[in-house]
Structure 1
Amino acid sequence: MMANCDYEELEEMDDDLEEDVFSPNIQQWKSMPLLNSDAKERYNDIADRSPEDSAKFPKHIKLMKNTDIGDVIKERALAFLPAKSLYRFKTVSKEWDQWINNPFFVHMQTTQFKEVSGLFCQPPGESPSFISLDPTAFGIPSEGLSFLPEPVDIRTTCNGLICCQGRGGDQAYYICNPVNKEWRMLPKPKLYHGPQTAIALAFEPAVFNFNANYELICVVNLPDTSVLCFEIYSSRTDSWRISETVCFELNSVALNGDGFYMKGYAYWETQCDAILAFDVKYETYGMFSLPPCREPTGALTEIRGNLFYLMPRKQDECSIEVYGDISMSLKHVIPLDPKALGNTDGLCRALSFVNDDTFILDLEGKIIAYNATSHKVECLRNARNYEGFAKYLPYVNSLVTVSRPVFSKWEDGI
């Protein structure tokens, strides 16, 4: 049985399997009957070639003469850079400026560059600001989102887009990108979105999503009921629709703030140790448990494409417990180097996990990036005490545009 095999036997089995599947016997291949005389001639031609002939560049492929390294960088490398660097490179030449402004390049950069570049921060009652993970590479021209028509509160982010809500009487929703200062005010929802409404922005950069279509999923608590409804805005139609899906789970009524989108699903924490998951495509929901030891200092986050929960622990030394899978069982315990952290007597709050190896932590208002591999600590913002928890949202420094919908009710004359 497989359980009784030792390590060497398993290796031999793997080698045999790989040879059978991926390395067919060359003698058998040679003895296979050819379909026709043309195929036989092509085979003989290949067999008679010398190594020198095989190394020659194919005659049917034309080489680009006088190809400049700048052209290669422009066409092959620029799309992998953040927006701040690209705005600098626009000054290289008029040709580069036109290329970076090209909608095809903008779309290419949106699909290629997905690295978290920093966090938008907003303390209670204050204007939002941007905390860059690397100020030399990542940045935005308007940190406070002053280009919007009114003061706003940041609600949620997704792959370069930010959803904000106005503080005015209408409390309108705005979708914007602070890099290019493009924004769009969403039409008024059909349902009343009270203070308990939780939202998540779903935007998936993809080759075929050229118009940067997105959806805003809002979980609305119907007044005087224990029922949650899902109202969804679609940028394709510039309209809201009320999903037929209704959540009757009594324990899910109280949501712990806004959620986030990942791989087709929107996730929200509830105040009853559970996670509410919503399938954006099929508009169905499910619930699964949070770790039983959850505390307000924990955070639901994405780690390498999977859903995890981060929980800071302070006993003799500080550590981060990482819970995962649908069971939210303990997967890892990451010790934090006390020498690198410095004074850890205060509150430690987990904010997010970004770019495959970095924890973002709040130590009494001091925002730090802790590299789980090298155990190096970088202070992103100096300590500052707030009354209540400030909101921190990860942001991708993308060129994504916020354009008008392809099918608009106004353009269709409705």
Structure 2
Amino acid sequence: MACSGIDMLNDESLEEDMYSDSSEFYVAVKPQGGGIDSLAEFDLRTAAYKVEEGNNGSKYPVEIIMRVNMTIKDVAKRHILPFLPAKSLMKLRAVSKEWNQWIASPLLAYNQSSTFQKLSGYFYQRLDNVDDPPILLSLHRSAIGVPSPSLRFLPVKVKVLSSSSGLLLCQGKDSYYVCNPATKDWKKLPPPQYYHGSDPAVALAFDPQFNIESFYRVVAAVPVLDNPVVCFEIYCSESDSWSI
């Protein structure tokens, strides 16, 4: 816990584009794998983020909604929800199954990261006592927060090592974990090739504004034994593997 707010053009220009060569739409999307495409341009005429192939082999958006046909529900989903903080979005998932699916979608997360950029707060933890869980110091308690600021949804006790755009990198007894405290989603990373130690020099890199599939990197500076050099071991979420 997808592009800038979509600026719908006037209905006539959109209608003309709908009947033009469908290949014109294809330049507006950029494949990222998994059947999902990121928005490569920000002057889009549609709210589409998936494409299908027509009989003539050309690509076209799955979803096209003209402004005249948009309902209040469509306006709220596309032009209001992206401006809300994560805490409010989590409550709105209970509105309906449709809203739950939309709020959980990577496209909304991508939009929300571009439009709502207020700092939520800071995670604080005493590193001299790893048994103490982290604490969220919220800057706006009434509107912003997370369901489990102590990260008790993780399977083990952890210490927070790094954060990036709403994701946390944590270290357990023998593994790294990347989690989203707003949604309580988490992933245990595979073991690295080198021993990183109990106090590693490591950082998480995640930029959701240009990354609809939520790919991230973990970069660790690892000293080489008996050598005055440091190598960098990088975890890539696309391949779920470490490399030097």
Normalised by the size of structure 2, how large is the TM-score? 0.66
Alignment partner for residue 174 of structure 1, among 171, 174, 177?
177
Name whichever structure is richer in strand by fraction: 1
After superposition, the C-alpha distances for 1:282-317 in whole angstroms (9 at most, x for unaligned) are: xxxxxxxxxxxxxxxxxxxxxxxxxxxxxxxxxxxx
Structure 1 gaps, min length 5: 1-56, 243-414
Residue in 1 that maps onto 2:228 = 226
Q: 1:102 to 1:239 in 2, by over 3 A?
A: closer
Q: 1:182 to 1:64 in 2, by over 3 A?
A: closer
Q: 1:76 to 1:112 in 2, by over 3 A?
A: same
Q: CA deviation at 1:196?
A: 5.1
Q: CA deviation at 1:97?
A: 3.4
Q: Distance in 2 between matches of 1:233 and 1:196?
A: 17
Count of residue pairs the alignment pairs up = 182
Q: 1:98 to 1:235 in 2, by over 3 A?
A: closer
Residue in 2 that maps onto 1:368 = none
Residue in 2 that maps onto 1:89 = 92
Q: Distance in 2 between matches of 1:191 and 1:229?
A: 10
1:186 and 2:192 are equivalent in the alignment: no
Q: CA deviation at 1:58?
A: 7.7
1:205 and 2:227 are equivalent in the alignment: no
2:169·2:204 contact (CA, 8 Å) conserved in 1? yes
Amino acid in the other structure paired with 1:153: K
Task: Note the 1:239-258 alignment, pairs <5 A.
Answer: 239-242=241-244
Q: CA deviation at 1:119?
A: 0.6
Residue in 2 that maps onto 1:149 = 155
Residue in 1 that maps onto 2:23 = none
1:108 and 2:111 are equivalent in the alignment: yes
Q: 1:158 to 1:58 in 2, by over 3 A?
A: closer
1:161 and 2:167 are equivalent in the alignment: yes
1:196·1:220 contact (CA, 8 Å) conserved in 2? no
Amino acid in the other structure paired with 2:163: T
1:114·1:159 contact (CA, 8 Å) conserved in 2? no
Amino acid in the other structure paired with 2:149: E
After superposition, the C-alpha distances for 1:33-53 in whole angstroms (9 at most, x for unaligned) are: xxxxxxxxxxxxxxxxxxxxx
Q: Distance in 2 between matches of 1:92 and 1:194?
A: 46
Residue in 1 that maps onto 2:55 = none
Q: Distance in 1 between matches of 2:14 and 2:166?
A: 39
Task: Note the 1:52-71 alignment, pairs <5 A.
Answer: 64=67, 68-71=71-74
Q: 1:145 to 1:66 in 2, by over 3 A?
A: same
1:128 and 2:134 are equivalent in the alignment: yes
Q: Distance in 2 between matches of 1:221 and 1:60?
A: 59
2:106·2:214 contact (CA, 8 Å) conserved in 1? no
Q: Distance in 1 between matches of 2:228 and 2:69?
A: 70
Normalised by the size of structure 1, how large is the TM-score? 0.40
Q: Distance in 1 between matches of 2:169 and 2:152?
A: 14
Q: 1:194 to 1:95 in 2, by over 3 A?
A: closer
Q: CA deviation at 1:95?
A: 4.4
Q: Distance in 1 between matches of 2:199 and 2:97?
A: 50
Supply the RMSD in Å over aligned alpha carbons. Answer: 2.4
Amino acid in the other structure paired with 2:194: L
2:138·2:144 contact (CA, 8 Å) conserved in 1? yes
Q: SS at 1:206's partner residue?
A: helix
After superposition, the C-alpha distances for 1:145-168 in whole angstroms (9 at most, x for unaligned) are: 1111110010000001100000x2
Q: SS at 2:145's partner residue?
A: coil
Structure 2 gaps, min length 5: 1-9, 16-65
Q: CA deviation at 1:106?
A: 2.9
Task: Note the 1:354-393 alignment, pairs <5 A.
Answer: none
Q: 1:71 to 1:130 in 2, by over 3 A?
A: same
Q: SS at 2:208's partner residue?
A: coil
1:197·1:221 contact (CA, 8 Å) conserved in 2? no
Q: 1:89 to 1:223 in 2, by over 3 A?
A: same
After superposition, the C-alpha distances for 1:327-354 in whole angstroms (9 at most, x for unaligned) are: xxxxxxxxxxxxxxxxxxxxxxxxxxxx
Q: Distance in 2 between matches of 1:220 and 1:59?
A: 59
Q: CA deviation at 1:132?
A: 0.8
Looking at CA atoms only, which structure, 1 or 2, has the larger radius of gyration? 1
Residue in 1 that maps onto 2:38 = none
2:106·2:213 contact (CA, 8 Å) conserved in 1? no
